[in-house]
A and B are shown apart, each in its own frame.
Chain A
Amino acid sequence: MLDELKQQVRELFAGDVGLVIAYGRSRDERTVPVFARKPADADALVWNDRCYYNLTRYLTDRDVMGDGEGKIGIVVKGCDLKTLNVLLAEKQVTRENLAVVALRCKGMKDADGKLLAKCETCTVADPDPALCDCVIGPVPQREPREDDFADVDAIEAMPPAERLAHWSREFERCLRCDACRNICPLCYCRECLASQHDPRWIPASGSATGNRLFHLVRAFHMAGRCTNCGECERVCPVGIPLSTLMRKGARIVRESFGVEPGAAPDQRSPLASFAPNDPDPEEVAIK
């Protein structure tokens, strides 16, 4: 499978692709994102169970993409493809500029060798060929279990004061390092409102309130857009359960508006659209 991937990437360079974002190895033998710019670079690509990075993050990285000339190749897993759909729908990338190489995936593991939570419930291990230029790898024999949202339920079962205390304990550890925001492919604003000085929407310092606001606003901005790649939680140095917060946002949107983010590359963002029977504070439906 790896050989097929390498060959595919070499062929991309023979075409009009100038950069391929893929997985490779660092000097100290760890799996890392790599940026291949010539056919020989394909020899160093890897594919293993530590390829958890959602590489679509780099499609909006201006330092990497340069002036945006030439086609960009990108290696994606099924989960990353959902994020790509949102990027396409939000017009941050155009399909014609991309060569999408999808890989069939057996699941990714964390630093301790444990299967990632999102992989246990994954239904996109075999990416939809309609969304890619090619799909590589054997069809995975996986039996995903259904996502029971147990983590979200556990919090909803708490009385409000306990919920507040729970999240306060989690956010207390937050260093405001912005790793969660910066790894997120959908946090692509050139100037994040959290960095704005005037007006200062979110306090800069790591106070209890400031941290709460930062994560609340990020969760709001992600609602209906986030495809739950789980990278935010993986990268948090202090282990805040950010995925739980994002999944709550996803559940609100699914249950209230019937929308699944990342389902199609032309799907309107739920908060940029509306429906006659949206939940109404006065129970009014539009005729």
Chain B
Amino acid sequence: MIVKQDQLNARLDDLSKTMEVFAPVRERGRVYFRTVRSSGEIAWDYGVSVNSIKECFLPPRQVFLRYTSGGFETVPVANGRPRLVFLARPCDARGVTIMDKVFLGDRPDETYAALRERTTIVGLACDRPDEHCFCTSVGGSPAGTEGMDAALIPMGDGSYDLKVLSDKGRAVFPDAPADDGAIPEEFVRKAEAAVRRTVTIPETLRDSFGSDYWREVSQSCLKCGACAHLCPTCHCFDIVEEGDCRVRCWDYCQSDTFTKAAAGHDHRGAKFSRCRQRVYHKFDYYPENFGIVACVGCGRCARHCPVNSGISDLINGLNER
């Protein structure tokens, strides 16, 4: 069903009365996914946001216990309103399904499951990959709909082809007709051709664990958490005591304290081994455990790395050895 942008804006304003809406917003020249109160705040015209939508399901900071004089009380998962993630890119929506493998596995995470259940994801197909994007090399597509409850395909003239893909999507767009959800081939062809970067995951990845390559390529790495925190699939977390509460918060594998054990032993102390670990977790261990590469090719790591390194470079470089 073809809809115009202002129709969608109007629908969004309606929905925001009962749903918490998360949409791209422009702040100081960059685009972030944020809670919005009205459609006027939305930056429709965006490439990839700085942050991914994973924080809708795994909050960067979550107070889950509060200590009282008698003991403690559990803190309910953020207000029970239904939520809407609006205009998520295919890479981000797909990233959520990849995280589902861990958080909705045989021991579902209470918070994640609750947030996932009451969140509807409306995606925006991508017609503008940049030089860092490589979704097509890791099983994704700029026209992909994995993880979406409804998808919007830009027609190029300010209107969108709306496709309802699930019951949740139908609840948000009850007027949309039944749809087979197929994206027009022409759009898919053009969009996928626009993805310039390719990544070839070497078959010898497992065998390259001991290679000197990792020492060489990791030299410039700062061991910061920019890549991990922005990545749609990175999900490591820590649990800390803060003041009078217990908090779950994002952590990153490059941090010096990440693998520190009691008495100060660190089995992954060298920088190269951390850099290597990040690549292997996403491209070797995750596929072994869950059958899927834990990378969606969004390019955020490359785009925001302080020293302009990126995971695609690290993998492609290995191919040349």
Contacts and interface: CB of A to CB of B under 8 A. Distances in A.
Direct contact of A and B (CB under 8 A): yes
A204 interface: yes
B226 A205 contact: no
Given A26-B309, A204-B238, A235-B306, A175 B60 contact: yes
B270 interface: yes
B242 A205 contact: yes
B247 A35 contact: no
A32 B250 contact: no
Interface string A1-41: 00000000000000000000000001110111111000000
A237 B50 CA distance: 7
Nearest to B215: A63
Q: Which of B29, B51, B220, B270 has the most CB of A within 10 A?
A: B220
A205 B62 CA distance: 9
A206 B225 CA distance: 13
B238 to A, nearest CB: 6
Contacts, number: 123
Contact of A26 (B228, B229, B242, B313): B313
B252 interface: yes
Say what secondary structure dominates the interface of chain A.
Answer: loop
B9 interface: no
Given A238-B32, A238-B50, A177 B225 contact: yes
Interface in A226-240: 231, 234-235, 237-239
B222 A183 contact: yes
Contacts of B224: 177-179, 181-183, 235
Given A35-B220, A175-B229, A28 B270 contact: no
B252 A177 contact: yes
Contact of B249 (A178, A192, A206): A206
Interface of B: 27-30, 32, 50-51, 60-61, 131, 197, 218-220, 222-226, 228-230, 238, 240-243, 247, 249-250, 252, 255-257, 270-272, 302, 304, 306-310, 312-313, 316-317
